[in-house]
Amino acid sequence: MTPCLTLKLRVLLSLGVAVLAGTALIGPATGASASAVPSHRGTLPPGNPSESLPPSPFFLSSCSEGNDGTACNRLVRAAITHARQRLEKMGGMSFSLSAYEKLTPDEQLFVTANLERTERGLAPAVVLSRSLDTIAQAGAQSGRDPAIGDVPGRLPGGGRTAFVGGIWAGGWINPLGADYGWMYHDGPGGDNLACTTARSRLCWGHRDMILLRFGAYASCPGQSELVMGAGHTARAAYYGESDTGILAGVCGPAPADAVFTWAQAKRLLHIR
């Protein structure tokens, strides 16, 4: 079996999105979470890479489902570095791999999404929410998008939920591999289920979701925060590895049910 056929058969991506009344998806962030955001780098929505790029090195054939060990993570990180250099003229991810491997899979998904954001000059998701994790985990176990309709209008102790998006990846080895699928193999010729032709509206939809700029406008006049939930299992039906993410824009403070924060991640993984 050739690597290309292996890739096509065993990995898939899908997404769901809900924009609630009066909220803008793309726009400059305002409010407390917008401070100290560096200038943009790389390619940001509505722009996207010129092509989907199969991983090189091809970790999908080198690593087994659920392998989150050092050797496989190094292969995936090398593939991400290669894709960034080729598609966006960017360098690779900068973090402590040994510290990363001590995190839970949910925390790893949170970290990789935020590294994709912050290394392109976007504000991070500030917390990983237990409420959102629960919804994301149900999706991961079922091998499907998280049920974003189950996200409450207000998160515990936090503000109003104004935007919600969900992403799923199946068969991408581990959380870092799922990040590769969402970010670099999501357009025409990739494994995005919604990208059936080069002109399909949701080509690069997972990447756009991870790199969204949640704008606080008339419906969100004060503080606004981007928060996240994540789910993972290595034993989903058919795909084995199954990873999900929920990104939610909140008008008001971040939810009080945080299980992990970006401030903690930066300290533990030596992220500047």
144 burial type by CB count under 10 A (0-12 exposed, 13-18 middle, 19+ buried): middle
Per-residue pLDDT at 36: 38
Residues 6+ apart with CB under 8 A from 18: 148, 149, 151, 163, 164, 165
| pLDDT under 70: residue ranges of the chain | 1-40, 215-219
The SS3 of residue 230 is strand
Task: Return the closest-CA partner of residue 52 out of 176, 245, 192.
Answer: 192
Per-residue pLDDT at 100: 98
215: which 2 tokens? 């704008």
Model-level pTM?
Answer: 0.88
CA 114 from chain centre, in angstroms, equals 8
102: which 2 tokens? 């001590």
Residue ranges covered by each domain of the chain: 3-269
Per-residue pLDDT at 80: 98
Type of residue found at 68? D
Ramachandran assignment for 22, one of left (phi > 0), alpha (psi -120 to 50 degrees), beta (any other): left
The model's pLDDT over 80-98, given as tens digits with 9 standing for 90+, comes to: 999 999 999 999 999 999 9
Type of residue found at 127? V
Task: Return the closest-CA partner of residue 83 out of 179, 192, 184, 177.
Answer: 184
The model's pLDDT over 220-242, given as tens digits with 9 standing for 90+, comes to: 778 889 999 999 999 888 888 99
Distance CA 257, CA 206 (A): 25
State the Rg of the chain over Cα.
17
151: which 2 tokens? 């996200």
Cα angle 260, 265, 270; round to 5: 165
Residues 6+ apart with CB under 8 A from 3: 54, 58, 60, 61
Per-residue pLDDT at 14: 59
Task: Return the closest-CA partner of residue 5 out of 52, 76, 54, 49.
Answer: 54
